[in-house]
């Protein structure tokens, strides 16, 4: 019996950070044991927020290194570039006819992106990117999409489009469901609600221990805890959040020391940096292999694209038949 399918994807923005790891990659790796996974490098999506894509080839390979180092197995889970499978754009065009602009304008994540990126004018492609995402998912008949809560509205749009197509032309697509990640967000080092490459508040998965320590030293902490001896509030401190994820064995001790004032922020940050660096040590070692064997990355992409293309072509044959397009 065929295993249920999961479609996961990211825009190729280069080296990934801890937010990507805890919010997506760690979950993707675990899902390989139970589901049939397809991993999309969403390079067309980059164009929705920027037109300078001169670095996209390099950014793609850097991101792919992080995926592989984290544990994505390309033999089990095809890895492929969206732009190399022409059926993505074909299905995107068809699905665009099934949704109103008013519906897309209600997308809360769109409003958040416009605010964070300080965009003055909204282009058609950005407004319609949830439709392209729907095409990405439905093309492989994805039944689950692992996302954080902030991305759940996109999956709902995909479900609506699947229903609309099936009612209008005939049953082709399953309705995908969001599979929420357990640790969906990691706060940025500047105190923002999330770690984001565009905001420059990240620790990279590939950072060396000294880089991690330097970045963590600048992290925002509880404003009421000015010096050692002052009682702190760990539940509002982003450094403590990192402890809960990467330093679980010391969390109770860290909390007690912070609340009593016995643990100063300098020592707290140092202990957090050391825990993160230790956690990422195996990852950095695996990543270095691909730094030395870049030709294998191209082979992995080509193999994944051949396998994805076969699935995409089969789906579009069903779509055209259902629509009477021959």
**278 and 298 part of one domain:** no
**278 and 164 part of one domain:** no
Do the Cβ atoms of 181 and 151 come closer than 8 Å? Answer: no
**87 and 232 part of one domain:** no
Domain carrying residue 243: 207-287
**120 and 235 part of one domain:** no
- Dmax (CA) for the chain in angstroms is 75
**138 and 269 part of one domain:** no
What is the percentage of the chain residues whose pLDDT exceeds 70?
Answer: 98
Domain count, the chain: 2
**224 and 151 part of one domain:** no
Residues 310 and 38: their CA atoms lie apart, in Å, by 13
**CATH number for the domain harbouring residue 52:** 3.40.50.620
Give how far Cα 175 sits from Cα of 126, 142, 160, 178, 320, Å.
23, 8, 8, 10, 19
What is the percentage of the chain residues whose pLDDT exceeds 90?
Answer: 80
With respect to residue 278, please indicate whether it lies within any of the assigned structural domains.
yes
Give how far Cα 219 sits from Cα of 178, 206, 266, 290, Å.
32, 18, 10, 31
Instruction: Write the DSSP symbol of residue 200.
Output: T
**269 and 305 part of one domain:** no
**CATH number for the domain harbouring residue 263:** 1.10.240.10
With respect to residue 196, please indicate whether it lies within any of the assigned structural domains.
no
Q: φ and ψ at 220, to 5 degrees? A: -70, 140
Q: Compute the mean pLDDT over every residue in the chain, rounded to the nearest whole number.
A: 93
The pLDDT score that the predictor gives to residue 94 is 98
For residue 186, pLDDT beyond 90: no
Instruction: Give residue 326's pLDDT band: very low, low, confident or very high (50, 70, 90).
Output: confident
Give how far Cα 171 sits from Cα of 9, 132, 137, 200, 321, Å.
25, 20, 16, 45, 11
The pLDDT score that the predictor gives to residue 248 is 93
With respect to residue 199, please indicate whether it lies within any of the assigned structural domains.
no
List, for residues 42-60, the tens digit of each pLDDT value. Answer: 999 999 888 999 999 999 9
Residue 207 tokens, joined: 């950072």
Pairing between β-strand 5-10 and β-strand 36-41 as defined by DSSP bridges: parallel
List, for residues 299-311, the tens digit of each pLDDT value. Answer: 999 999 999 999 9
**150 and 258 part of one domain:** no
Residue 51 CB burial class (10 angstroms; 0-12, 13-18, ≥19):
exposed
List, for residues 82-130, the tens digit of each pLDDT value. Answer: 999 999 999 999 999 999 999 998 888 777 777 776 777 788 999 999 9
The pLDDT score that the predictor gives to residue 1 is 64
Nearest-CA neighbor of 125 among 106, 140, 110?
110
**37 and 104 part of one domain:** yes
**42 and 124 part of one domain:** yes
With respect to residue 197, please indicate whether it lies within any of the assigned structural domains.
no
The pLDDT score that the predictor gives to residue 184 is 59
- pLDDT mean over 241-268: 94
The pLDDT score that the predictor gives to residue 105 is 87
**221 and 141 part of one domain:** no
For residue 280, pLDDT beyond 70: yes
Do the Cβ atoms of 124 and 155 come closer than 8 Å? Answer: no
List, for residues 139-184, the tens digit of each pLDDT value. Answer: 999 999 998 777 788 899 999 999 999 999 999 999 999 988 776 5
The pLDDT score that the predictor gives to residue 202 is 95
With respect to residue 152, please indicate whether it lies within any of the assigned structural domains.
yes
With respect to residue 249, please indicate whether it lies within any of the assigned structural domains.
yes
Give how far Cα 90 sits from Cα of 87, 103, 109, 136, 239, Å.
5, 21, 25, 11, 45
With respect to residue 195, please indicate whether it lies within any of the assigned structural domains.
no
**240 and 127 part of one domain:** no
Residue written as token pair 């010096």 = 227
With respect to residue 198, please indicate whether it lies within any of the assigned structural domains.
no
**Which of 28-32, 196-200, 249-253 bottoms out in mean pLDDT, i.e. has the lowest?**
196-200
The pLDDT score that the predictor gives to residue 297 is 97
């Amino acid at each position: 019996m065929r295993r249920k399918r999961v479609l996961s994807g990211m825009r190729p923005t280069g080296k990934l950070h801890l937010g990507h790891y805890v919010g997506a990659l760690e979950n993707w790796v675990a899902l390989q044991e139970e589901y049939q996974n397809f991993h999309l490098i969403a390079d067309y999506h980059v164009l929705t927020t920027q037109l300078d894509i001169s670095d996209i080839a390099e950014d793609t390979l850097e991101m792919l290194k992080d995926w592989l180092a984290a544990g994505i197995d390309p033999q089990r889970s095809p890895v492929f570039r969206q732009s190399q499978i022409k059926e993505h754009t074909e299905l995107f065009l068809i699905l665009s006819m099934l949704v109103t602009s008013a519906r897309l304008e209600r997308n809360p994540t769109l409003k958040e992106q416009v605010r964070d990126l300080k965009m003055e004018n909204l282009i058609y492609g950005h407004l319609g990117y949830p439709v392209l995402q729907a095409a990405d998912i439905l093309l492989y008949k994805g039944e689950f999409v692992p996302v954080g809560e902030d991305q759940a509205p996109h999956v709902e749009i995909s479900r609506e489009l699947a229903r609309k197509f099936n009612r209008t032309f005939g049953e082709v697509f399953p309705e995908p469901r969001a599979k929420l990640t357990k640790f969906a967000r990691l706060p940025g080092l500047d105190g923002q609600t999330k770690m984001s490459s565009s905001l420059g508040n990240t620790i990279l998965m590939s950072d060396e221990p000294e880089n991690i320590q330097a970045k963590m030293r600048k992290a925002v902490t509880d404003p009421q805890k000015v010096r050692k001896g002052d009682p702190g509030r760990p539940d509002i401190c982003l450094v403590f959040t990192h402890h809960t994820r990467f330093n679980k064995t010391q969390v109770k001790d860290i909390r007690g020391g912070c609340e009593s004032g016995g643990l100063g922020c300098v020592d707290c940050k140092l202990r957090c940096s050391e825990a993160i660096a230790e956690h990422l040590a195996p990852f950095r070692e695996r990543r270095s292999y691909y730094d030395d064997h870049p030709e294998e990355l191209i082979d992995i992409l080509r193999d994944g694209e051949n396998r994805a293309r076969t699935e995409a072509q089969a789906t579009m044959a069903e779509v055209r038949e259902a629509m009477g397009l021959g």
